[in-house]
Amino acid sequence: MYKCALILAAGKGKRMKSDLPKVLHKVCGKEMVNHVIDVLRTVNIEDVGVIVGKGAEKVKEATEARNVVYSLQEEQLGTGHAVMCAKNFLKNKTGTVAVFTGDAPLITDETVKKFIEFHEEGGFKATILTSILENPTGYGRVIRNKKDEVKRIVEHKDCSDKELKVKEINAGMYCFDIISLLESLEKLDNNNAQGEYYITDVIGILEKEDQKIGAIPVPFEETLGVNSRVELSQVERLMRNRINIKHMENGVTITDPNNTYIDSEVEIGSNTIIYPGNVLEGSTIIEEGCILYPNSRISNSVIERDVVIQNSVVLDSKIGEGTTVGPFAYIRPDSTIGKNARIGDFVEIKKSTIGDDTKVSHLTYIGDAEVGSGCNFGCGTVVVNYDGKNKHKTIIGNNSFIGCNTNLVSPVKIEDNTYIAAGSTITKQVPKGTLAIARAKQVNIEGWVDKKGMRK
């Protein structure tokens, strides 16, 4: 049977107190609405419509790569009105439409699949996603008859004493037969205190017409919506825990999951060990056998197998197999570090390539450079890549030795198997096999201290 989905994403979310549309706030590195879209795609629902309103252009920009269709809800007049605005998306379609909210990112692919299968196999015209709560205060109750058939949804404030004892609550997500939904939308009205159209009223319309309505309970955690920054942090914690458990089940050691922050798209190989305080962001890939000691940030980077990183920052870069980084190293975007290299403490690499087996052990800056394999940098080396107006490139050949406190003034080329004497400022090409010395000749002035009266 044909399946499609609608995502309600038109609200601004006043309680978020933000200029950003609510559904674009991120949970574990991804916008909430994109979490929902990606789950739908995981269960092979390709036809997805997103109902936009407040901040529509921002929502479109954030979701355009996911190939969805947009419907505009110019005024926010309730959930039923939102679905009304998607009539063109549903027009001429038959089958099932699932309706989800863009601010409930914890829904899982297993639940979506089970939800739709339950709806279709039961032959329901509408199916409600529900949860069972010991304390359902504030939630709309799902009322069933003695045959366990769904009769209606009653808001908490309208419940009778008997209905208040019902523990099954409406999660605000639905499956509908498309034709039945479109017919019911024509009958919706806004005769209520808020003057809004509610999708829950469609359930009442179908029930009055003796249509078959189903409800399936799922864990409450999966249905949590976000309406405030506090709720955002709660959902973030739950998803982070889910992500960390997945990695641990796949053979990753996370010594303190409560203090390890891994985005949803991060991939981690088995036998990697992650200590507390690590933040792994974006599309980062950590291969097998790595050790991430405490307090590093790695974003959109590839860390090959058996790499050790200590208390460092790696952004949009690649670290080769068997390399060690840190502590206190800063690998800036567009850098590639080779295999079995050493990037030590207080080293900054910017938009540079570092060859295999090269050691940059401490207190060094390398920017806009190509560095060969087997090189050694003494502490305090600076690649002087900026002339105040433009950036320039430095090229360093294989097996070169750069002495301490050397300045390499770009553009400059250091060929293979060269030595740079400590304290040199290099401005010209250094030929292969050469020792370069570029510093003033030492002069000792005897008796100067006494002549100047400087003796202590």
CATH number at residue 148: 3.90.550.10
Residue 126: its pLDDT value, please?
Answer: 96
Query: Pick the catalytic residue: 156, 247, 362, 392?
Result: 362
Is the pLDDT reported for residue 169 higher than 90? yes
- Reported as a pLDDT band with limits 50, 70 and 90, residue 116 is very high
Token digits of residue 359? 């050691």
Same domain, 37 and 109: yes
pLDDT at residue number 152: 86
Q: Give the model's pLDDT for residue 193.
A: 76
pLDDT average, residue stretch 74-98? 95
From 150, 160, 140, 162, select the one nearest 204 (Cα to Cα). 150
Number of domains in the chain: 2
Percent pLDDT > 90 in the chain is: 90
Residue 451 lies in a domain: no
203 and 127 share one domain:
yes
CA distance linking residue 344 with residue 115, whole number of Å = 52
- Write out the residue range of the structural domain in which residue 360 sits: 253-436
State yes or no: is 247 an active-site residue.
Answer: no
Q: What is the pLDDT of residues 322-357, one digit of tens each?
A: 999 999 999 999 999 999 999 999 999 999 999 999
Residue with tokens 């409600």: 128
Do residue 278 and residue 218 come from a single domain? no
Contacts with 348 (C-beta within 8 Å, 6 or more apart), sequence order: 329, 330, 332, 364, 365, 366, 367
Check residues 50 and 198 and name the one with the higher pLDDT: 50
Residue 31 lies in a domain: yes
Could you write out the three-class secondary structure of the chain?
CCEEEEEEECCCCHHHCCCCCHHHCEECCEEHHHHHHHHHHHCCCCCEEEEEECEHHHHHHHHHHHCCEEEECCCCCCHHHHHHCCHHHHCCCCCEEEEEECCCCCCCHHHHHHHHHHHHHCCCCEEEEEEECCCCCCCCEEEECCCCCEEEEECHHHCCHHHHCCCEEEEEEEEEEHHHHHHHHCCCCCCCCCCCCCCHHHHHHHHHCCCCEEEEECCHHHHCCCCCHHHHHHHHHHHHHHHHHHHHHCCCEECCHHHCEECCCCEECCCCEECCCCEEECCCEECCCCEECCCCEEECCEECCCCEECCCEEECCEECCCCEECCCCEECCCCEECCCCEEEEEEEEECCEECCCCEEEEEEEEECEEECCCCEECCCCEEECECCCCECCEEECCCCEECCCCEEECCEEECCCCEECCCCEECCCECCCCEECCCCCCCCCCCHHHHCCCCC
Say yes or no: 259 and 203 in one domain. no
pLDDT tens-digit series, residues 399-448: 999 999 999 999 999 999 999 999 999 999 999 999 999 999 889 999 99
Flag whether 380 is in a domain. yes
Residue 450 included in any domain = no
- Region 129-157: mean pLDDT is 89
Average pLDDT on 98-120 reads 97
303 and 412, same domain (yes or no): yes
Domain presence at residue 370:
yes
* Same domain membership, residue 214 and residue 306: no
pLDDT digits (tens, 9 = 90+) for 178-187: 999 999 999 9
Query: 194 pLDDT exceeds 90?
Result: no
Instruction: Establish if 259 belongs to a structural domain.
Output: yes
> What pLDDT is recorded for position 12?
83
Residue 126 to residues 85, 183, 414, Cα–Cα distance (Å): 19, 13, 73
pTM: 0.92
Same domain membership, residue 260 and residue 131: no
Instruction: Return mean pLDDT, the chain.
Output: 96
Tell me the per-residue pLDDT of 56-66, one tens digit each, with 9 for 90 and over: 999 999 999 99
Q: What is the pLDDT of residue 227?
A: 94
Of 263, 116, 70, 170, nearest to 108 by C-alpha is 116
Q: Could you give phi then psi for residue 404, rounded to 5 degrees?
A: -60, 150
Token pair in block for residue 148: 């366990």
CATH number for the domain spanning 346: value is 2.160.10.10
Q: What is the mean pLDDT of residues 224-240?
A: 97
